[in-house]
Amino acid sequence: MENAVKRIGVLTSGGDSPGMNAAVRAVVRTALSRGIDVIGIRRGWSGLISGDVFRMDGDSVAHIINRGGTILYTARCEEFKTEEGQQKAVATCKLLGIDGVVAIGGGGTFRGCLALSRHGISVVGIPGTIDNDIGCTHYSIGYDTAANTAIEAIDRLRDTMQSHERCSVVEVMGHRAGNLALYVGIATGATAVLMPEHPWDFQKDVAERIRNARLHGKSHFMIIVAEGAFNNDEIMKNPGSAAKVAEMIHEELGIEPRVTVLGHIQRGGCPNARDRVTATRMGYWAVECLAAGKNNRVVCHQGGTICDMDMEEALEVPHSISASEERVLQAMTGFEG
Ligand code: F6P
Q: What is the DSSP string of 289-310?
A: HHHTT--SEEEEEETTEEEEEE
pLDDT digits (tens, 9 = 90+) for 39-50: 999 999 999 999
Nearest CA to ligand 1 atom 15: 15
Contact indicator for 107, 48 with CB cutoff of 8 Å: no
pLDDT digits (tens, 9 = 90+) for 256-271: 999 999 999 999 999 9
Task: Determine the distance separating the centroid of ligand 1 and the alpha carbon of 109, expressed in angstroms.
Answer: 13
pLDDT digits (tens, 9 = 90+) for 84-108: 999 999 999 999 999 999 999 999 9
pLDDT at 276 over 80: yes
Residue 247 makes CB contacts below 8 A (sequence gap 6+) with 239
129 lines ligand 1 (CB under 6 A): yes
Q: What is the mean pLDDT of residues 295-315?
A: 96
Contact indicator for 21, 280 with CB cutoff of 8 Å: no
State the first-to-last Cα distance of the chain, in angstroms, to the nearest integer: 64
DSSP 6: S
Give the residue among 143, 108, 112 at the shortest CA–CA distance from 19.
Answer: 143
pLDDT digits (tens, 9 = 90+) for 6-41: 999 999 999 999 999 999 999 999 999 999 999 999
pLDDT digits (tens, 9 = 90+) for 179-226: 999 999 999 999 999 999 989 999 999 999 999 999 999 999 999 999
Q: What's the chain's average pLDDT? A: 96
pLDDT grade for 337, boundaries at 50, 70 and 90: very low
The CA distance from 174 to 171, in Å, is 9
Give the residue among 120, 94, 105 at the shortest CA–CA distance from 11.
Answer: 105
Quote the percentage of the chain above a pLDDT of 70: 99
Q: For the stretch 7-37, what's the b/e string if a residue is b when 16 or more beta carbons lie within 10 angstroms of its beta carbon?
A: bbbbbbbbbbbbbbbbbbbbbbbbbbeeebb
Contact indicator for 22, 70 with CB cutoff of 8 Å: no
Nearest CA to ligand 1 atom 11: 15
The CA distance from 299 to 290, in Å, is 11
Give the residue among 125, 134, 151 at the shortest CA–CA distance from 266.
Answer: 151
Instruction: Select from 104, 131, 143 the residue to mutate for testing ligand 1; criterion: most ligand atoms less than 8 Å from CB.
Output: 131
Alpha-carbon torsion angle 64, 69, 71, 75, nearest 10: 160
pLDDT grade for 334, boundaries at 50, 70 and 90: confident
Task: Determine the distance separating the centroid of ligand 1 and the alpha carbon of 26, expressed in angstroms.
Answer: 25
pLDDT at 1 over 80: no
Give the pLDDT of residue 119.
94
The CA distance from 100 to 10, in Å, is 9
In one-letter notation, the amino acid at residue 290 is L
pLDDT grade for 61, boundaries at 50, 70 and 90: very high
pTM: 0.96
pLDDT grade for 146, boundaries at 50, 70 and 90: very high
133 lines ligand 1 (CB under 6 A): no
Task: Determine the distance separating the centroid of ligand 1 and the alpha carbon of 165, expressed in angstroms.
Answer: 32
Residue 137 makes CB contacts below 8 A (sequence gap 6+) with 127, 298, 299, 300, 301, 302, 314
Bridge-based pairing of strands 7-12 and 100-105 is parallel
